[in-house]
Chains A and B, each alone.
Chain A
Amino acid sequence: MSTAVHAEWIKLRTAPGTGWLLAAVIAVTAALGTAADAAARCPVGGCQLDPAKTSLTGIYLGQAIVVVLAVTALSGEYGTGMIRVTFAAMPGRAVVLAAKAAVIAALVLAAGTVAVLGSVLAGRLILPGHGFTARHGYLLLSLAEGPVLRASIGSVLYLGLIALLSLGIAAAVRDTAAAIGIVLGLLYVAPVITAVLGRSAAARHLQQLAPMTAGLAIQATTSLRSLPIGPWAGLGVLAAWAAAAMLAGSLLLHLHDA
């Protein structure tokens, strides 16, 4: 296993796009979070905004780059035929997938940590100037606060789970465009469909089951009662999605010719 991880590490490290994609995850996450902070206003009458959630808005965009990184790490090998070399060297296909998952998850968690720390720092610097002060019932955004720490760690884990979900789907469909389309469709379209379902129990169930709406419940620090699903339970739903995708991916990897 450790040789497999080492091999995957070398492949990913020497692939031209990896560094750029990781840098992009950090840049777009922090940039969108900063933009959301800059646009947020808490006027004298009070506001409904959740400062931690606002600062971590960038995850919505950062996850798209994580998807690209994780999908292309596998589907790229199919595109170039490299996958046949990989499987000739390491015939245990599940081992290859597990090694890829370990390397990608580690890289995404590292980049995610930097991105989330940057986002929280931006929120800490910007939000108090926009009315998020003690007078309106807001504390300075700080990782020493339980809910904010949970939202921050949870957002990093969220990105890691998105990477695993993407890798699993990529192993299942083995095509870059199709895999990215499926993952981004799962993430971005489910909330739109929630709107179609309107005010119904079905809409609430969809919010509880869809990977993004459930997983990002981890970011909420205010009005937790109105959430469709609890923060950790929501992240659990995303973990179940990721596990199911990895399982399906490794099964199909066994069944198909490379």
Chain B
Amino acid sequence: MSALRAEWVKFLTVRGWVIGIVVAALVTAGIALLNHSTCGGAVTPGGPQITGVGCAAPPAGPSGVAVTDRYYLVHQPLPASGSITTRITALNAGQGPGGLPPWSKAGIIITAGTRPGSAYAAMLVTAAHGVRMQYDYTGDIAGRPGPVSAASPRWLRLERSGDTVTGYQSADGTRWRLVGTAHLAGLPVTAEAGLFASSPGSSQVTSQSLSGSSAGGAMTLATATFDHVALDGARPGSRWAGSPVGGPASGAGFHQAGGVVTVTGAGDIAPYVGDASDGGGIPLERTLFGAAAGLIAVIVVAAMFMTAEYRRGLIRVTLAACPRRGQVLAAKAVVIAVAAFAVGLAGAVPAVVVGERLMRSRGNVILPASTFTEIRAVGGTALLLAVAAVLTLALGALLRSSAAAVTAVIATLFLPYLLTLVALPAGAADWLLRLTPAAAFAIQQTNPAYPQVSASYTPGNGYFPLAPWAGFGVLVGYTALAALLAVILLRKRDA
């Protein structure tokens, strides 16, 4: 305890260190205020003007996440209890370049309504990912794999009982297999049930730069052929009606002849994945990038906090006063970690609060994140500063050189991320962001990558290869190793 107090006094009485750590908080918050991106602005003076595409907020799904909800629906009302069954014999490209995107979908759906963002559950076939049961945008359960054809059709069924919808698949229409069950909160007594088709735009990354990657995309259409359509519990006398959900698309529609229904649609029913190319939907963590500058200040102070002891010979006094060397290092680590965490929080909270308002005031759309996710991103940023400070401290004790400690930590924290933005191809970049301490920046990521949406999930677009806490764990691992070695060497070596 006395060691802790001694280190705390040392830290507070060096003016340069206190200034450095306060600067860390100021730059963390200050850089968020520099954001001048406006929705609909030109990227380069005289360059192409980005029109208002994507400047409108994407609709929110039942759980609050931003969603893409655009498809062609052929529907009838369905009461609280009932089912819909059909057979799909084909899923083909309507028009447009090349074949179907892998996540083109068609099938049956029970939805709260035709308003974008409605609760739903669907049994569907995809172009390249087999049969799926999907619900409420983020839910995705795999069914039988393989493509659909006239020779190998798929039977799909959805049964509704109140808020619960159960999905079944079959190869022959007699032996059914359960795929999954979804509980749709707030499904109205009279829902809509029907057939749908959707096909996401084909997208290809064309160039990668510091401000994200740009992608060129084209609209695609998918056409599905249904027969043996049966709706149990339908109101007598109801007829199938076509609705372009989320806005019309040229070429979309349906055709009914002698028990065979073809539905053509464009779009996707999926979580919204912000893409730099469409000019809209900025992830919340953009406001936290200032922490990178704050991190440098914290690293410098942490290195000095350790190596100054050796430079001035103070370490001999310190170890004379507190002969348990491990305790000295632990006390130093606690002091620098607490200080870094505090300034990290003091910088990150205003950065998010003010930065978010500032971006909104310029017409940008911030992608919604749950409160828990926001707290994780903000608190994680502060933790990142704290752990990086301890890593620097440990390396300082290990190497007894501030130059080596500062350079090692800055280079391993920042360079991998930079290299992924400017130099390295995606595969190598992902491995770099898994293996180096830079993986820890994943803690700031607020939008998860969804396997059921094709997009360029690159670090430049805000997607890290590791999950937030796993990435943070990599930094913690390196720090624990460095601290262990530092304690061992501090005990062994002469001071």
Binding site for B on A (CB under 8 A): 35-36, 39-41, 48-49, 53-54, 57, 60-61, 64-65, 67-68, 71-72, 75, 79, 175-178, 180-181, 184-185, 188-189, 191-204, 207, 213, 223, 226
Contacts and interface: CB of A to CB of B under 8 A. Distances in A.
B284 to A, nearest CB: 12
A39 B422 contact: no
Interface in B15-41: 16, 20, 31-32, 34-38, 41
Which of A36, A65, A198 has most B Cβ within 10 Å?
Answer: A198
B171 interface: no
A68 B411 CA distance: 12
A67 B421 CA distance: 22
Interface residues on chain B, size class = 35 or more
Contacts of A184: 296, 406-407, 410-411, 414
A177 B406 contact: yes
A196 B32 contact: yes
The 8 closest A-B pairs by CB, nearest first: A198-B37, A39-B428, A181-B300, A177-B402, A185-B296, A188-B414, A196-B289, A57-B423
8 contacts: A36-B428, A39-B424, A39-B427, A57-B423, A185-B296, A185-B410, A196-B290, A200-B43
B307 A177 contact: yes
B296 A202 contact: no
A27 to B, nearest CB: 14
A65 B422 CA distance: 20
A193 B31 contact: yes
A54 B35 CA distance: 31
Interface stretch (B174-182, B205-213, B463-471): B205-213
Given A191-B422, A203-B211, A196 B407 contact: no
A53 B404 CA distance: 27
B78 interface: no
B415 interface: yes
Interface string B309-327: 0010000000000000000
A181 B406 contact: yes
A191 B422 CA distance: 10
Nearest to B306: A177
Given A177-B304, A200-B41, A61 B421 contact: no
Nearest to B298: A181
Nearest to A72: B403
A1 B179 CA distance: 84
Given A48-B208, A196-B31, A57 B296 contact: no
B307 A40 contact: no
B450 to A, nearest CB: 22
B383 interface: no
B288 to A, nearest CB: 9
A68 B292 contact: no
Contact of A188 (B34, B38, B418, B424): B418
B165 interface: no
A202 B415 CA distance: 23
B310 to A, nearest CB: 10
Given A57-B419, A61-B411, A198 B207 contact: no
B296 A213 contact: no
A53 B410 CA distance: 23
- The A contact surface, by secondary structure, is helix
Contact of B292 (A35, A189, A197, A203): A189
Given A181-B300, A198-B36, A199-B43, 9 more contacts: A36-B423, A65-B407, A75-B403, A178-B16, A178-B20, A180-B406, A184-B411, A198-B37, A198-B282
Contacts of A67: 407
B311 A193 contact: no
Interface string B157-174: 000000000000000000
Contact of A202 (B36, B300, B418, B425): B36
Contacts of A68: 403-404, 407
Contacts of A178: 16, 20, 300, 304
A250 B425 CA distance: 42
B36 A197 contact: yes
B258 interface: no
Interface in B415-445: 415, 417-419, 421-425, 427-428
A177 B425 contact: no
Interface in B453-469: 460
Contacts of B421: 191, 195
Contact of B207 (A48, A75, A79, A203): A48
A71 B403 contact: yes
A231 to B, nearest CB: 15
Q: Chain A CB within 10 Å — which of B43, B209, B289, B411 has the most?
A: B411
Nearest to A28: B411
A188 B415 contact: yes
Contacts of B35: 196-198
B297 A195 contact: no
B396 to A, nearest CB: 9
Given A197-B34, A198-B211, A64 B407 contact: yes
B303 interface: yes
Nearest to A39: B428
A181 B44 contact: no
Nearest to A78: B311
A41 B425 CA distance: 8
Nearest to B419: A60
Contacts of A188: 410, 414-415, 418
B45 A201 contact: yes
A113 B282 CA distance: 43
Contact of A181 (B50, B206, B292, B297): B297
B21 to A, nearest CB: 13
B286 interface: yes
Contacts of A200: 36-38, 41, 43
Contacts of B42: 201
B427 A189 contact: no
A177 B410 contact: no
Nearest to A53: B423
A189 B32 contact: no
B389 interface: no
B210 A195 contact: yes
B373 to A, nearest CB: 19
Contacts of A61: 411, 415
B289 A195 contact: yes
A176 B303 CA distance: 10
Contacts of B289: 192-193, 195-196
Contact of A199 (B50, B307, B411): B50
B94 interface: no
Contacts of A48: 206-208
Contacts of A203: 36-37, 210-211
Contacts of B41: 199-201
